[in-house]
Amino acid sequence: MLQQQMAEELNVEFVRAIYRFTGGDQAAVPLLFAESTILQVVEKTQEGWCRGFAAGKEGWFPISYVKPLGNGELLQVNLSFNLLYYAWLAVRVI
In 1-94, alpha helices (H): 2-9, 71-74, 81-93
pLDDT for 94: 56
pLDDT under 50: residue ranges of the chain = 78-81
Q: What is the pLDDT of residue 28?
A: 80
d(CA 25, CA 37): 21
What pLDDT is stored for residue 78 in this prediction? 47
What is the reported pTM? Answer: 0.68
Angle at 46 between CA 61 and CA 60, to 5 degrees: 15
* Protein fold of 2-93: SH3 type barrels. (2.30.30)
Q: What is the pLDDT of residue 12?
A: 72
C-alpha pair distances (Å), 87 with each of 5, 28, 59? 13, 30, 23
Domains of the chain: which residue ranges? 2-93
